[in-house]
A and B are shown apart, each in its own frame.
Chain A
Amino acid sequence: MAKLVLDGINKIYENGYHAVHDLSLDVADKEFLVLVGPSGCGKSTALRMVAGLESITSGTLKIGDRVVNDVHPKDRDIAMVFQNYALYPHMTVGENIGFALKLKRTPRAEVEERVREAARMLELEEWLDRKPGQLSGGQRQRVAMGRAIVRRPSAFLMDEPLSNLDAKLRVQMRADIAKLQRNLGVTTVYVTHDQVEAMTMGDRVADKRKGYLQQVDDPQGLYDRPDNLFVAAFIGSPAMNLLEATVAQEDDALHLAFPAGRIRLSDTVLAAHPALRDRVGAVIAVGIRPEDLYDPAERPGHPDDQIINGVVDLREALGSDLMVHFTAEANRVVVEDVREESELAVTSAGSALHAAPLVARFWPRSTVREGDRVPVAVDTERLHFFDLATRLAIWS
């Protein structure tokens, strides 16, 4: 077991492409760290550098207390799980799992014992004599896990191990892997583009974009206090609503002015974000999580000056909640490169000037109907504020 330290790691390819910029990360012993970001953000490259499959252009990589920049992958004492599983198709499940031990010339009895133990943990015992081709996707994934755990390495590296599974299996394997990691207590770096995986599995989540590390925090911290617009837009599903607003001063109080109307900021908000006072007259980005937009009927007594009006486009009844998609007169802030391209095309379509599509999480007993013009209450205490130029969060 060991900690993992990345210090100022860079990756520049021969063709000049700079894939990873000054990546510094400390992964504590037994920690589950998730590297998350959209495709092309350099997260897989970073992981492959830790594994030793890619050379490190500059910076220091330590596993435990040993600098391993130039150590061969097999001597780094790590195990990796690949997106495509990368099982050896001509070997049985048992041989796949025991391959690394066999190469180390471990005595046969011990290999068998450890393979059995790994298989028992992963419920693969009855499949040990099958070939990978005869297994389902979920089972192959577990074999790949087995191959990693049987070696008792000081760190696991996982490169999108669940992305080839169907949605239902993914949810289950997500829990299984997280549980397994906690039981084994092995330091783990897990790469994914799926922010739900990142939030549910990681002790801490590191968010990357275009080769730069954006923020490292525990999942709740990342969700509640995003450092910048990118993290705010990337983390959370449905995504945070991001609108342009002008900070306006009126009768002692600060307001956020939208084309649709004004929202008064309470003193507690200003106490938490004192820097807002310096921005009177400026246009900033305001982030509102869907659950911070609710039906005024749900909480009687909601102040009238903290309401935004919109026309309901669509209501999705989830049973426990009612997702209300509505359009408000406001300017939307689009953060490119957050979602997969196709998704981005869908969400940005039809957003004309002064018409921002928003998503709110209403209580299930709400009576709003599609086409209605409705008031939507805003929980101002939980708003997020960002500078449009620097894209950084506005605090003090």
Chain B
Amino acid sequence: MTVIDESAPVKSVKAKHGGPSQLDPVGQQTHRALAAIPTWVLWGLVVVWTIPSVGLLVNSFRPKSQQLSSGWWTAITDPSFTLDNYRQAMFDMPGGYVSFGKALLNSFAIAIPATVVPILIAAAAAYAFAWMPFKGRSWLFIAVVAMMAIPLQMALVPLLQLYSGGAHMTLFGQTFTIFPDLNLNNKPIAVWLTHTAFGLPLAIFLLHNYISSLPGDVFEAATIDGANHFGIFWRIVLPLCKPALAAFAIFQFLWVWNDYLVALIFLAGNKDASPLTIQLVNLVTSKGSGTELLPSAAFISMIVPLIIFFSMQRYFVRGLLAGSVKG
């Protein structure tokens, strides 16, 4: 048997490239130093932007007396920490406030439906706009996207009237009810509906771009395999859209979680249902009592967005489409 060795050594050819390697040693050093400047500027910005948050974090663990008498940096030389602020804020608010443990649940009760509902509606709408031909499709799509221009503030009063009185129209002496009086005000559903309505245009726009770039062959294959539009949407489009859904979910969730205005207008009258943001502001305006709990309360409200972001950010980068078609 003859074995032919094809792994004979091949002389490596060093790539010749211009730039710093051709400079003298001093020039090289200068080049390297200059090239590092952007990195150092970035690090500087990171530090400057992070310091207030670090201060807040340190303070949240310091007892009330020290918080009021000295700056957070004294903790470096004279460390004395307690978890008492967190315990009080979570479970035992002074002065008759709703505890932050309860407010945290309220925030979840608002943010989760106000994220999931618009995403499902938007994904279905985006699929229809992208892959279901019907008359006036492009005009309707433009109209939906144009709604992004409507300012939320402008709609607050009409929406409040809609939720607490319904919408009625009087024509030729006849009164028609367009939207019944469901007495939604001061209930979480009012906040869900508002966030859903104002989140939809952007969500439809983003998801439409993503869904229309999916390979049409895959939908055709699914059609022949026996899937109807709903089946294609549920079994093919939604799983393939995960990165886009996750990206939008993060935006929407953070937006709703940090929202103050909508909650204030539609939910402030209902203490037992109001979210963290409302409670946090109440704490600031409470003139003395409980202000030492502010840093810890702020961190309780921050921890959820942080977890959400870090747990879902991989969807930003993962290309789920790899391998569906040759390319």
Give A contacts to B, CB under 8 Å: 51-53, 73-74, 78-80, 82-90, 99-100, 103-104, 131-135, 137, 140, 147, 151, 164
Contacts and interface: CB of A to CB of B under 8 A. Distances in A.
28 contacts: A52-B224, A74-B224, A74-B226, A78-B224, A79-B224, A80-B224, A82-B221, A84-B326, A85-B326, A86-B215, A86-B218, A86-B325, A87-B221, A87-B323, A87-B325, A88-B222, A88-B324, A89-B218, A89-B240, A89-B322, A99-B235, A100-B226, A103-B231, A131-B323, A133-B322, A134-B323, A147-B221, A151-B225
Contacts of A83: 217
A51 B324 contact: no
Contacts of A80: 220-221, 224
Given A86-B325, A89-B321, A90-B240, 15 more contacts: A51-B224, A52-B224, A74-B224, A74-B228, A83-B217, A86-B221, A86-B324, A89-B323, A100-B225, A103-B227, A103-B231, A104-B226, A131-B323, A132-B323, A133-B324
Contacts of B226: 74, 100, 103-104
Contacts of A164: 326
A295 B8 CA distance: 44
A104 B236 CA distance: 16
Contacts of A52: 223-224
Nearest to A132: B323
B220 A82 contact: yes
Interface of B: 215, 217-218, 220-228, 231, 235-236, 239-240, 242, 320-326
Nearest to A48: B220
A214 to B, nearest CB: 28
Contacts of B322: 89, 133
For A103, A147, A151, the residue with the greatest tally of chain B CB atoms inside 10 Å of its CB is A103
Nearest to A148: B224
A342 B68 CA distance: 82
A73 B224 contact: yes
A378 B93 CA distance: 106
Contacts of B236: 88, 90
A212 to B, nearest CB: 26
A110 to B, nearest CB: 16
A84 B215 CA distance: 9
A85 B324 CA distance: 8
B184 to A, nearest CB: 38
B325 A74 contact: no
A52 B239 CA distance: 26
A165 B169 CA distance: 65
Contact of B225 (A84, A85, A99): A99
A133 B240 CA distance: 13
